[in-house]
Structure formats: structure tokens, C-alpha cells
Structure 1
Amino acid sequence: MTVHRTRLHRSPRRVVAAAPTQDAANHPGRAARLVARLSSPRGDVPGWVLITLMTAGIVVALWAVASDQIVQIFENAMAPFLGGSL
């Protein structure tokens, strides 16, 4: 029986040095490759992880500094809907 292992790493990328005088008009395939790469479902996982961690850090920092004010704002905003019982 043959066991197929999934690849958990990205394949090595080719590094192609572009001359500074080249542009998209001279290389019509470059735009197609760019569109295909941007529409890829793989995405940029490390970038999204970094954004998520930074957002969580900002929330924690704001909560640590202004927790009493945040709770008060929430209670004031909800009071009209709950009949002022908060």
C-alpha cells in the first residue's frame, strides 16, 4: 500500500532578476501571472496571522488602559433598550 504525504511547505520560488527598463507592455504574460497569483486561494498566511495578533494586542492594550470607560460606554448605550435597568 502506498501512502501519500501532503506537502506542508511551499515549493521553492524561482528568483528572476528583471532589468529596470522592462515593463508590462513588453511582457504581456507578466500581468496574467500577477492576476493568477493574486486570485490564488493560498493567500498570505503569515501576513494574516500577524494582522490578527496585532489586532488582538491592540484590543488587550485598550482594555487594560480604559476598561472602566469602555464598560460605562456600553452600559450607557444599552440603557435605552433595556429600560435603564443597567
Structure 2
Amino acid sequence: MSRPIRRTRVVRALADEQGDVPGWVLITLMTAGLVIVVWGLAGPALSSIFESAIARVTGF
């Protein structure tokens, strides 16, 4: 296979690529869901750690 033919196939394949929009939407929604779940579970603990750290810094 010659080089120009191979390059033409690559260019044609890239031009035909429309992207996987539903896949990216699903990934985005799943990531947002994971962030919400983790934030809900770890939020109170992180908040108390932050408040105690600020109290130590401002206590001086």
C-alpha cells in the first residue's frame, strides 16, 4: 500500500468522525452523580476539618 493511499484513508476516517456525543453526555452525568454522592457523604467531615483548621490558624 502506497503512502498517499494510506494518508487518504486516514484523512477520510478523520473527516467522517462525528464524535460520540451520547457517550460524553453519559460520562458527564455519571461524573456529576459521583461528585454529588461523594460530596454528600464526605461534606460534613470535610467541613468540620476545615472549620477546625481555620480555628487553629485564627486562634494564634
Distance 2:24 2:48 in 1: 32
Deviation, 1:74, is 4.8
Counterpart for residue 39 of structure 2? 63
Q: Superposition RMSD on alpha carbons, in Å?
A: 2.8
Deviation, 1:68, is 1.1
Of the three residues 50, 53, 56, the one matched with 2:29 is: 53
TM-score, with length taken from structure 1: 0.43
Distance 2:49 2:12 in 1: 49
Alignment gaps of 5+ in structure 1: 1-24
Number of residue pairs aligned between Structure 1 and Structure 2: 53
Identity across matched positions, percent: 46
Alignment gaps of 5+ in structure 2: none
Which structure ranks higher in relative contact order (CA pairs < 8 Å, sequence separation ≥ 6)? 1
Instruction: Could you list the structure 1 runs, at least 4 aligned residues long, displaced by more than 3 angstroms after superposition.
Output: 72-76
Deviation, 1:70, is 2.5
TM-score, with length taken from structure 2: 0.55
